[in-house]
Every structure is written in structure tokens, then in C-alpha cells.
Amino acid sequence: MTHWLSTQVRTLGALAGLALLLGLSAPASAREARPARGAEAGKKNHGKGKRTAQAAPKGKKAQEKKRAPAAKPHRGKTAQAYAQPSRRAQPAQGSEEKDDCLRDPVEISRLSGEGMKLSLTRCKGKPADQAVERLSVLMRPYSVAKPTSLPSLTPKQDKGLREGELSPGIHAADPGLLSRLQAIASEFPGHTITVVSGYRPGGTGAYHRHGKAIDVRVEGVKTETLATFCRSLLDTGCGYYPNGGFVHVDVRPKGTGHVYWIDAAGPGEPSQFVSSWPPRKDDEDGKVKSGKGAPKDDTSHGDVKKKAGHGAARADRDHEDDE
């Protein structure tokens, strides 16, 4: 009997110990299972939690914060000034930008010794102040006395004046002559430009008669060199007078291009237009052959060659510009 009781006691003790052991391990297993289930739930609800975290907060202040517009970059005057490249101010509509820049003065004289130093054009090509009037005086016929004051460009209704004249014997120079003389002065800086002939009211040439042509030489520069440069000027008539020692320069209509001819006649001789200079060796009897299409000028320059050959004093006595 005693043995049976001790056996039962040992059996009950073992069962109690087993029950105790099972009671302690169950909560631990439950704790280990919960994170696993949470992780699995997190995988199933991936993305939903983010939207839940960004849910708009409730309340008046939260709603105002939600409706506030996004901040915009500053686009004020200062920002635009730095964002855009600087541009030169444009003149108002109907006005022209003022050009105060002048080309260097050019020394221009006549065969008689009279001369002046003047700025012909502005830096952008427009005539300088009173340049047209000054050149008009220098281009007057040698038989016309120098005026005591500069003529006015304002048209005059005077029956005694020819068309285009500013005063008796003084015709307005074409502004295109200023730019061409400026080009010559820039090509040969420091050299005096001498006016051999300009306005010729009684001549047959329309260019000289209307103040659109001038015969010049450049002191210290060969006539051939001057003629070669003149040929590079666009819409310009260039006449090379090797025996007269000057170059004819005139203003042609826009789009004309280059016009060039050679007159081999000497002082006082009729024109002899040739195709080249010096004359070719195979010319018959030493005579110069006329070049085809060479005479593109509408004046013979016969009197001009005479004036250039005999000097200003003789030219004044000849009155070659009178009708």
C-alpha cells in the first residue's frame, strides 16, 4: 500500500511539472508568433500604410495648410534682369538712334590751293553735320568765287539758280560722294584728297551736272592705285585717266554694281577709251585701240584733262564750266 501511494505521488509530481513546463512555453510561442503575423500583414498592406501616414490632419489649421499653394520662384525685375542677357535700349518708334561718333577729319583741297579739313561721315555712314555744304563749296567751278558763308541746303525758289543749286554756281553734293570719299580717305590715311573737278553746270555729263560726280587725285598715291581701289566700291562709276592724273568717281543707282572705264587721252585731247593700260604692244601705228563697252561715263572730261594738265590758274582763265 505504501508503495502504491509513493508511485501515485511521483506520477502526480511528474504531471504537475509537465503542466508547469507547458504553461511557461505557451506565452513565449504566442509572442514569437505575433511579429510574424504583423510582418506578414505589413507585406499584404504594402503601400496602404504610406497613404494612411500621409492622410491630411484634421482641424481648421490643417485644412489651411493643405490648401496653401506651392511657393513660386521670384520673377520680379531683378530676377528677370539676371535671367535674361542685357540688351541695348531700342529707340522709340518713329525715332532714330543718335550717332555722335565722327570719322577722323579729312584734308580736301582744290587745285587752286584752297582747302579745308572736315569730317565727312559719322561712324555709321551718315553725313556729318555741314559736310554736304562744305563739300559742295569745294566742288564748285573754278570760275565761281568762294562764298563768305556756307550755303543752306534748304531749297530756294530763285529763278536765277539752276536745278539743285544752293547758291549761284554751287550745287548740292550728292551725300553718296561723302561715303565714297570717306572710303578713299580710310584706304589712304593721312593723304590729302585733291578735287580736280566737281560740279560742271555747262557740261554734257549728267553726273557732274547734278553734283553726283567728282574727279580726284590723292597726293602721294599713284593714279592707277587709286583707280584700282575705286573699282572695289559698289554702285560706283570709276574712270581711270592715266594721262590726266585723276580718277572720276560718281554715285550710281543702287544695284548697278561696278562701272569702270579707261580714257588714255592726254590734256586737251579728245577721249580715247581703251580696254587696258598701258596700251598693248601690238597696237597698229602706236595708236590706242578703243575698248568695247569702255566708255560707261556720259562725259568726255576733255576740259578736265586740260585743267589737270595746265594747273588751276589756266583752268580759271578757261572758264570751262560756263555754258
Distances (CA, A) of 95 to 90, 100, 116: 10, 15, 33
Give the pLDDT confidence score for residue 10 in this predicted structure: 72
- The position carrying cell 482641424 is 59
Binned at pLDDT 50, 70 and 90, residue 97 comes out as low
Distance CA(320)–CA(315), nearest Å, equals 7
Query: Which tops the pLDDT comparison, 164 or 315?
Result: 164
Specify the 3-state DSSP secondary structure of 43: helix
Phi/psi zone of residue 208: left (φ > 0), alpha (ψ -120 to 50 degrees), beta?
A: alpha
Distance CA(232)–CA(262), nearest Å, equals 15
Whole-number CA gyration radius for the chain: 51
pLDDT tens-place string over residues 32-80: 545 545 445 444 455 444 444 454 455 555 555 555 555 454 444 333 3
Give the pLDDT confidence score for residue 206 in this predicted structure: 85
Distance CA(138)–CA(156), nearest Å, equals 20
Q: Check pLDDT > 60 for residue 277.
A: yes
Q: Check pLDDT > 90 for residue 156.
A: no
147, 209 contact by CB (below 8 A): no
Domain boundaries, the chain: 106-318
Q: What's the mean pLDDT when you consider all of the chain?
A: 73
Give the pLDDT confidence score for residue 112 in this predicted structure: 93
128, 122 contact by CB (below 8 A): yes
Query: Which tops the pLDDT comparison, 85 or 56?
Result: 56
Binned at pLDDT 50, 70 and 90, residue 88 comes out as very low
224, 254 contact by CB (below 8 A): no
273, 263 contact by CB (below 8 A): yes
Q: What does pTM read for this prediction?
A: 0.61
The mean per-residue pLDDT over the stretch 150-163 comes to: 85
Query: Which tops the pLDDT comparison, 204 or 299?
Result: 204
Distance CA(257)–CA(65), nearest Å, equals 75
The mean per-residue pLDDT over the stretch 168-190 comes to: 96
DSSP state for residue 188 in the 8-state scheme: S
Distance CA(250)–CA(174), nearest Å, equals 9
Query: CB within 8 A of 137, min separation 6: which ones?
Result: 146, 147, 150, 151, 170
Cell reading at 243: 594721262
Query: Which tops the pLDDT comparison, 26 or 222?
Result: 222
Distance CA(83)–CA(74), nearest Å, equals 11
Binned at pLDDT 50, 70 and 90, residue 202 comes out as confident
Q: Check pLDDT > 80 for residue 193.
A: yes
Going through 63-126 in order, the beta strands assigned E by DSSP cover: 106-110, 115-118
Distance CA(28)–CA(21), nearest Å, equals 12
